[in-house]
Amino acid sequence: MATPEAKVKSAIRKLLKGRDVFFWQPGATIYGATGQSDFICVIRGRILCIEAKAGKHAKPTPNQAKFMQDVTDAGGVALLIYEDNTEMIHHAINLLRGKA
């Protein structure tokens, strides 16, 4: 049975594929960057990072929050996505595609 967070990730994956977004999901290894987001996307040369969480009170870890802030500081977009706010991904994709 899928965990609640796995269900959120599945919904995000389906949304990104449906919008024809280039993305990957970095695996958690000892060689990866600490705190990487669950989804790394590139849209028209800009980065969109998505951290998936289940439950409205779930928060990113300090390392995840720092990674997201670093992405934002570098001119990218970082989103924290729960079950009920996936529409934010559509808005970010439209913004990065110049359709906002």
CB atoms within 10 A of CB 86: 17
pLDDT in tens, 32-47: 678 999 999 999 999 9
| Domain region containing 13 | 4-96
pTM of the predicted protein model: 0.93
Mean pLDDT for all residues in the chain:
93
Q: What is the CATH number of the domain that holds 83?
A: 3.40.1350.10
Predicted local distance difference test score (pLDDT) of residue 29: 72
> Would you say 89 and 12 are in contact if contact means Cβ atoms under 8 Å apart?
yes
Q: CA–CA separation, 33 vs 40, rounded Å?
A: 12
Inter-axis angle of helices 87-96 and 4-18, to 10 degrees?
A: 30
pLDDT bracket for residue 100 (50, 70, 90): low
| Total domains in the fold of the chain | 1
Per-residue pLDDT averaged across 6-12, rounded?
Answer: 96
